[in-house]
Structure 1
Amino acid sequence: MIRPLGVLAPPDPEVARLKRRVTLASLAVALTLVALKLAASVMTGSVSILSSLVDSVSDSGASLVTLIAVRQAMRPADAHHRFGHGKAEPLAALGQALFVTGSALLLCVEAVRRLITPEPVGEGPVGIAVMIFAIVATLLLVRYQDRVIARTQSLAVGADRLHYVGDLLINLGVILSILLSQYGGVTEADPVIAALIALHLIRGAWKIARGALDALMDRELPEAERAEIRKIVLAVPGVRGMHDLRTRSSSVHTFIQLHLELDAAAPLADAHGVADRVETLLHARYPDAEVITHLDPKGVAEFVPTFR
């Protein structure tokens, strides 16, 4: 049964459930760590713990935005959004990147201030205990996110995961900072490590922003996937060639458009049957896709755009 032209498949309920659960888990972990790190920051006065607190606050905001975006993106297409709502995910990811960048820049300012005016770090055991708890909680969350991403390919969940992978390094850095500052007498370690953490956050934000912009600007699918589409199409009996393949993804749905080259003398019903078989095979490979085919007689000259 061929899906009607212009009708997107409804979002997979299981995928929607997985996305909702993982984003709720992310938000719960982030809020828990915010509370613990706030207490540890007040008790120790460590700017490294403050940097980790800033990161957890940004994680909380990002996870909340991701939760809202995932719910919006999984809504089915409607009369006003015929291509669905999938771009809510990359839009949220771009917002996350901007938020993290701003937080990291503020953190850099605080680190420079602490370098100019050093302040002692106290209550080292408390800070270390909080960071160890944060590492364990974050590891469990990242493993859960990995399983969900493997099943859903969610851009928003992937962006959220990037935050928490960075957190693992950040929390290890904070532990090192406390050890060097309180027990090694290296007072500069705390603000220096905080600045390195901020630079790491900015680097991660750039990666998130680049992926989000690719989706928002309708970047083509990776060449390996485009090659697979060509292989599927050209293997269909009756297809003599293809050209002008156009692809894009909204994170939730994939959109595939192409021109099929068929025998010029083929009856319309036969040509339509070939196109139906092509669309059926592509839908089998990309269940979330909208596939649009245009039929051309083989050998008829047609302008085909070329790009560098």
Structure 2
Amino acid sequence: MSRKVLWIAAASVLVGAIVLGLKTLAWWVTGSVALLSDALESIINVAASAAALFAITVSARPADDNHQFGHHKAEYLSAVLEGVLVVVAAVTIMREAYYGFLDPHLPDQPFTGMLINGAATVINAIWCLVLLRVGKSMRSPALVADGKHVLTDVVTSVGVLIGFVLVPVTGWPVLDPLIAGLVALNVLWTGWSLMKESVGGLMDAAPPPDVVARIRELVSLHAAGAIEAHDLRTRHAGRITFVEFHLVVPGDMTVAAAHDICDRIENAFERDMDDAIITIHVEPEGEAKHRGVVVV
């Protein structure tokens, strides 16, 4: 586990708390239902960041007797939880928008509220980019999920700011809850997408096609002396990619020679994909299926 990932996750909780404070202040100054909804979404954002920090800490634990393949999937559990929290936030925002429709009113001090909320939005936007960049580079589902959650918060705030511009200009107070309702729909869609992606990881979904293609290429290039590799299976677990396949070798090859080929393949994966765990089953020539990876 990179200490960088852990520090970013911890900083995310702090940033979320600062943004929540600013948005709460903006709502208190204006009394806007859209700003209240924005602040409610940020409360869940802080809780989700804390869950991501916990999950990343757990996933860093080494394998033990009860979890012999490690704790990497803890990050997917965090991502699912964040998706659920995003959906809860969307429903909460819709509820506040509904009550705003029943009793619409122009917000107080819209310019001041706009400045405060705008500052929170800028902070969130910058932090969103950091989370997504680091999460993707370090292959951390929890950080990527946290980044997407923060992105929904940014979208929410942008929608609120648009409403703040339109409400005083048009004199239509109903636009305040209308903007909140539209943003809630976008937040709901993001939460659903996040949960769907994370559940795929929990269900041992295969890596993206380009990763699988690279795996096949590495086996082909570094298995000289073998005949073919077949029954290739791959799955993701957090930052770890598990790779399993059968390696067919000449029937008269010694165990030591076959072991050398396996070592060469494993070393190639370690150089190219240091977060991959390889399991190779060596078979004699008679087991060849001629529909797997052709060795160069």
TM-score, length-scaled by structure 1: 0.89
Q: Is the 8 A contact 1:180 1:189 kept in 2?
A: yes
Code of the residue aligned with 1:155 in structure 2: it is: P
Q: Is the 8 A contact 2:41 2:93 kept in 1?
A: no
Q: Corresponding residue for 2:199?
A: 213
Q: Is the 8 A contact 1:52 1:171 kept in 2?
A: yes
Q: Is the 8 A contact 2:244 2:280 kept in 1?
A: yes
Distance 2:106 2:126 in 1: 33
Residue 150 (structure 1) shift: 4.3
Task: Give the alignment partner of residue 200 of structure 1, picking from 172, 183, 186.
Answer: 186
Distance 1:301 1:56 in 2: 57
Could you list the runs of 5+ residues in structure 1 that have no partner in the other structure?
A: 1-10
1:125 matches 2:127 = no
Output aligned runs, 1:92-241, within 5 Å: 92-235=78-221, 236-241=223-228
Residue 57 (structure 1) shift: 0.7
Distance 1:150 1:159 in 2: 10
Distance 1:152 1:172 in 2: 29
Task: Give the alignment partner of residue 41 of structure 1, picking from 21, 27, 31.
Answer: 27
Task: Give the alignment partner of residue 251 of structure 1, picking from 229, 233, 238.
Answer: 238
Code of the residue aligned with 1:125 in structure 2: it is: F
Distance 2:149 2:270 in 1: 33
Code of the residue aligned with 1:280 in structure 2: it is: N
Q: Corresponding residue for 1:23?
A: 9
**Which structure is richer in relative contact order (CA contacts within 8 A, separation 6 or more)?**
1
Q: Secondary structure of 2:287's match?
A: coil
Deviation string 1:42-91 (CA, Å, 9 cap, x unpaired) is 22121111121111111101101011111111111122211111111010
Aligned residues: 291
Q: Secondary structure of 1:82's match?
A: coil
Distance 1:150-1:213 versus aligned 2 partners, 3 A rule: closer
Q: Is the 8 A contact 2:132 2:143 kept in 1?
A: no
1:71 matches 2:65 = no
Q: Is the 8 A contact 1:135 1:171 kept in 2?
A: yes
Q: Secondary structure of 1:77's match?
A: coil
Distance 1:139 1:109 in 2: 26
Q: Is the 8 A contact 1:131 1:172 kept in 2?
A: no
Residue 203 (structure 1) shift: 1.1
Distance 1:181 1:67 in 2: 39
Identical residues among aligned pairs (%): 31
Distance 2:95 2:128 in 1: 30
Residue 301 (structure 1) shift: 5.9
Residue 237 (structure 1) shift: 0.9
Distance 1:122 1:212 in 2: 41
Q: Is the 8 A contact 1:180 1:187 kept in 2?
A: no
1:266 matches 2:266 = no
Could you list the runs of 5+ residues in structure 2 that have no partner in the other structure?
A: none
Distance 2:68 2:220 in 1: 29
Q: Corresponding residue for 1:5?
A: none
Q: Corresponding residue for 1:278?
A: 265
What is the aligned-residue RMSD (CA, Å)? 1.9
Residue 270 (structure 1) shift: 1.3
TM-score, length-scaled by structure 2: 0.92
Q: Corresponding residue for 1:81?
A: 67
Q: Is the 8 A contact 1:234 1:240 kept in 2?
A: no
Code of the residue aligned with 1:133 in structure 2: it is: A
Q: Secondary structure of 1:239's match?
A: coil
